[in-house]
């Protein structure tokens, strides 16, 4: 119950004695009158207490069940059955997907790479439309771990949904890449970039290329056996530059050759779009 004696007259907020999740979880509103009378009400579970100096405390039981925090959804160690079915149902880049990439000045990756498309993929908002689908695999083991989806239009714009790019929920991203060119195409050199479109822009000057999805993954991109030269398509922002530097240092320390792109625009795809 509430320690009424510690409150002065006025309005107060506190943790509910019924459903509270800690001192910072202040869902209980307390009102103390000048004559000492008080009332408290929890806005989450409807717990009510009243206090009268001459009578003490009266508690009104909640008419709604106590709300319990739900346990976080465990992440899949590998790609879920849903993800595998979606990947199996996707197609090599063609149609709207090819039109989108062409309008974006991107190289079209080989059909045996890990970028496909789906002509009618449902977005969480309810929208259904074409989408690029990238298979995210562990950079070292090649194990499928997630899917990256981008809802698109043939004119080079993204679909009017929020957000237009999504990874599968409940799946691991860390350590993952999208192998836009298959392992068989990688000999002694490899190009990497954060996003799919930046990587496919880098492919105009260097291939094979992979997408690391974001700056965090690029920064942690591991040194892979057999690859003697790494080309990094850097995003020209603080996070992108720091990620490229961290990756480059790791590979240089492993006695590998490293090249890092430089451009005035944010990324290579912006450079190509501006030159068109």
Domain residues of the chain, as ranges? 4-60, 81-275
pLDDT over 70 at 275, yes or no:
no
The per-residue pLDDT of the chain, averaged, comes to: 88
Relative to beta strand 176-178, strand 165-167 is unpaired
What does the pLDDT average to over 72-82?
Answer: 80
Instruction: Give long-range contacts, CB 8 A cutoff, 24+ apart: 89-95.
Output: 89/118, 90/116, 90/117, 90/118, 90/133, 91/116, 91/117, 91/118, 91/119, 92/116, 92/117, 93/117, 93/132, 95/119, 95/130, 95/154
Question: What pLDDT, on the 0 to 100 scale, is given for residue 64?
Answer: 44
* Cβ neighbours, 10 Å, residue 89: 11
Residue 212 pLDDT level (bands cut at 50, 70, 90)? very high
Q: Round to the nearest angstrom and report the end-to-end CA distance of the chain.
A: 70
pLDDT cut 70: percent of the chain above it = 89
Give CA–CA dist 239/212, Å, rounded. 14
Of 159-163, 188-192, 269-273, give the lowest mean pLDDT range. 269-273
* Residue with the larger pLDDT of the pair 153 and 56: 153
Question: What pLDDT, on the 0 to 100 scale, is given for residue 82?
Answer: 94
Give CA–CA dist 178/138, Å, rounded. 9
Q: Which tokens sit at 14?
A: 């506190």
Question: What pLDDT, on the 0 to 100 scale, is given for residue 251?
Answer: 98
Spell out a b/e string for 197-212, using b for 16 or more CB atoms within 10 Å of the CB, else e: bbbbbbbeeebbbbbb
């Amino acid at each position: 119950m509430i320690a009424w004696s510690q409150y002065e007259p006025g309005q107060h907020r506190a943790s509910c004695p019924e459903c509270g999740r800690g001192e910072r979880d202040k869902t209980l509103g307390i009102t103390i009158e000048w004559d000492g009378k008080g009332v408290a009400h929890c806005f989450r579970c409807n717990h009510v207490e009243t206090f009268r100096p001459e009578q003490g405390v009266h508690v009104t039981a909640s008419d709604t069940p106590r709300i319990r925090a739900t346990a976080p959804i465990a992440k899949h160690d590998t790609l879920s059955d849903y993800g595998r079915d979606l990947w199996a149902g996707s197609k090599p880049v063609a149609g709207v997907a090819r039109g989108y990439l062409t309008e974006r000045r991107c190289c079209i990756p080989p059909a045996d790479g890990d970028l496909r498309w789906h002509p009618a993929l449902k977005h969480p908002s309810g929208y259904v439309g074409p989408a690029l689908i990238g298979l995210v695999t562990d950079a070292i083991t090649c194990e499928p771990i997630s899917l990256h989806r981008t809802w698109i239009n043939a004119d080079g714009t993204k679909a009017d949904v929020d957000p237009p790019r999504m990874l599968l929920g409940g799946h691991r991203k860390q350590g993952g890449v999208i192998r836009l060119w298959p392992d068989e195409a990688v000999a002694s050199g490899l190009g990497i970039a954060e996003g799919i479109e930046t990587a496919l822009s880098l492919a105009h000057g260097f291939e094979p290329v992979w997408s690391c999805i974001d700056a965090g993954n690029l920064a942690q991109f591991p040194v892979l056996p057999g690859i003697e030269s790494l080309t990094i398509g850097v995003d020209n922002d603080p996070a992108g530059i720091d990620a490229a530097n961290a990756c480059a240092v790791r590979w240089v320390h492993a006695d590998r050759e490293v090249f890092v792109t430089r451009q005035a625009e944010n990324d290579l795809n912006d450079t190509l779009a501006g030159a068109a």
